Structure 1
Amino acid sequence: MDLPEGLTARPYSAADLDAVFAVAAAQQQHDIGRVDVERADFEADWGRSSFAFDTMTMGVYDGDRMVAFAELIHDGRAEASVLPEYRRRGIGTALAHWAEDAARRQGYTSIGGPQPQGSDGERLLEKLGYEQRWTSWVLQVPEGTAVPHRDLPTGYALREATPDDYQAVHDVVEDAFLEWSVREREPLDDFLAVTVRRPGHEPWMLRVVTDPSGEIVGTAIVVMADDESGQVMEGYVERLAVRKDQRGQGLAQALLVDAFEQARQHGAPRSGLSTDSRTGALSLYEKVGMVVVDTWVNRGIEL
């Protein structure tokens, strides 16, 4: 890697969790004015069977201090952060080139990721030839906002999932997301690593809707986001999916409202989620009282 004099680079490990989180948190605080990322986000990704530290991570160090990092997530997706005080020194460019080379070695066909619109990261990727693939929005139900209850159609039921439901939930999520997401199907074990095995997960956080025959036709997955003191700040709907032949009946709205209600009952003052321009779902979320708080641009490059 072509780094400024005095800096070094090497793959990191699970023991570097605090250092990776500190860099990511500092970047978010600088770019969007708050910290949404959690240590559990990294722990969950690192727990996937498809993840390998030695080939999919790279940290940049000033002495013993990590000042930047990058890691591969899957084909088409990488994450990277640079401490604000270390920017404009070529570190981001070096990490982008590392990610491209590492992705090629993994057999990936493209690489990229989301950056806050107009941020240093987004401008850098544009300069490096990364094309805009889609726009993403972070939405929230503001604290104190009342969200009207949504009734289900006759014969449908909404409940907490059980371990016997995991395969069906995975199928509903992957079938729905692969209608617009160009990637390989996520293995069940990787899905479980970032959902039910994610640190802090509790059974109530995985919600399902069943049809009159008892078959799972929709799901919502909730993550409870804490601040550094451990106080719950937000109930975040990580994934929301309804089977294609079951749409148009209000199931998604019912799942969303239920997720918000459950999160509030478990101490979250507000709820949030993200969506992007590929899904066409922005209006759905606005109908249940959500408002856009951030806009992100996903840029990528073919390999």
Structure 2
Amino acid sequence: MNQYRDADARASLDARLLWQPAGSADLDNWAELIARTAAVERPVWFERRADLAQILDSKNNAAAANTILGVDSVGVARAYSRITKSRSGDKAVGFGCVDPAWQGQGIGTGLLGWLEQRTRERFAGDAVSGEPGPAPRLRLCMEQQHTHQAALFDNSGYRIVRYYNEMHRPLDAGVPEAALDEGLELVAFGPELHEPVRLAHNDVFRDHWGSEPRDEEAWGFVVNDPQMRPDLSAVVIERSSGTVAGYQLASHDAEGADARGFREGYTDLLGVRREFRGRGIAQALLADAMSRFAAAGMDKASLDVDSENPTGALALYTKMGYVAVNHSMAWDKEL
């Protein structure tokens, strides 16, 4: 039985599949669907079972309302979508895939219809009574090689709003030296710094395109991510005040290393507070990250950067030896 109440969203879904919210009993089936799709489409990264389990634990993005899983007549998952949105956010972000053996049959178009309807519902539910809210907007992201996704998005009225560069820096070429100013100290990233770094991150990215403040739950997705590596991360503190001046939070995808043929330390987040910029903090954090990655047996340091980053990050990364190896795009549609 289809468990989604909205008639328009129901009508868009392929009747050959049984559609249901994803639950803990579906974790293996769900993860296997994503892995089968990734084996053909070869994305840089994809969600694994532990990531999906974390998603199901989310309170603000309740799985029963915000995920949909389509299974065939013998119970094999063939397609899924999910949506995330912060209560005060100006956009929802959609995710999903269709089993390669079932692609080209309109299932992706149906899932897109479900995502759009669920986005409208989330915006309506989050609206403050008596106050005008933002127009519902859905964002979808894809890597440049996935041309079938680009065709679907373009034909459905989405437009590219941003480009991102995936950048790599080989570690066999040595690590650059970068010293901190007197009065600044680089320390390990531990639980006692989770909240101070969250607040610093919200301050650093308050004027960055597409960024939204991270509440405690959203930040929990960062610090509790199964691939998060505190030992490869670091924070710069101002000694006199204890203020977080900058941070570098890193992860490592051990499973992905086998498929990609190299081990990489990935910088998920890098930021420096405005009042501390121009003092070499970002360079010091990146150099420290490279040293940590190399000591852990990594082959490359990697990160992603907005091609129009307002802080000049792209120029910094290039100066430190990072080279763009892949591109991705964000597509938006106002509903």
Shift of residue 272, structure 1, vs aligned partner:
1.3
Partner of 1:100: 116
Distance in structure 1 (CA, Å) of the matches to 2:67 and 2:215: 21
4+ residue segments displaced more than 6 Å: 228-232
> C-alpha offsets along residues 54-99 of structure 1, whole Å, 9 cap, x if unaligned?
1110112223111121111223311111222222111111111111
Q: Is the 8 A contact 1:29 1:35 kept in 2?
A: no
Q: Does 1:134 align with 2:162?
A: yes
Confirm or deny that 1:198 pairs with 2:225: yes
Q: Distance in 2 between matches of 1:212 and 1:284?
A: 25
2:184 to 132, 156, 159: 156
1:72 to 83, 92, 106: 83
Structure 1 counterpart of 2:137, from 110, 119, 122? 110
Q: Which amino acid aligns with 2:268?
A: E
Q: Is the 8 A contact 1:122 1:297 kept in 2?
A: no
Aligned position for 2:20: 10
Q: 1:38 to 1:10 in 2, by over 3 A?
A: closer
Q: Distance in 2 between matches of 1:237 and 1:83?
A: 30
Amino acid at match of 2:267: V
Tell me the amino acid that sits aligned with residue 253 of structure 2: A
- Which one has the bigger strand percentage? 1
Residue deviations 1:248-271 (CA, integer Å, cap 9, x gap) = 222112112212221222232222
Q: Is the 8 A contact 2:230 2:249 kept in 1?
A: no
TM-score by length of 1: 0.89
Does the 8 A contact of 1:131 with 1:299 survive in 2?
A: yes
1:266 alignment partner in structure 2: 296
Q: Please, which of 102, 115, 121 is the counterpart of residue 86 of structure 1? A: 102
Q: 2:329 — aligned with what? A: 297
- 8 Å CA contact 2:22, 2:68 repeated in 1: yes
Aligned position for 1:37: 46
Helix, strand or coil at the partner of 1:199:
coil
5+ residue gaps in structure 1?
none
Which residue among 187, 194, 211 is the counterpart of 1:166? 194
Change (3 A) 1:94 1:175: same
| Change in 2 beyond 3 A, CA 1:138/1:102 | same
Distance 2:305 2:39 in 1: 21
Give the match's secondary structure for 1:195: helix
Structure 1 pair 217–135 and aligned structure 2 pair: CA distance change class (3 A): same
Deviates most, 77-86 or 236-245: 77-86
> Does the 8 A contact of 1:210 with 1:217 survive in 2?
yes
1:59 to 69, 73, 76: 69
Alpha carbon RMSD of aligned pairs, Å? 2.4
Between the aligned partners of 2:54 and 2:316, the Cα distance in structure 1 is 28
Contiguous gaps of at least 5 residues in structure 2: 1-9, 86-90, 127-135
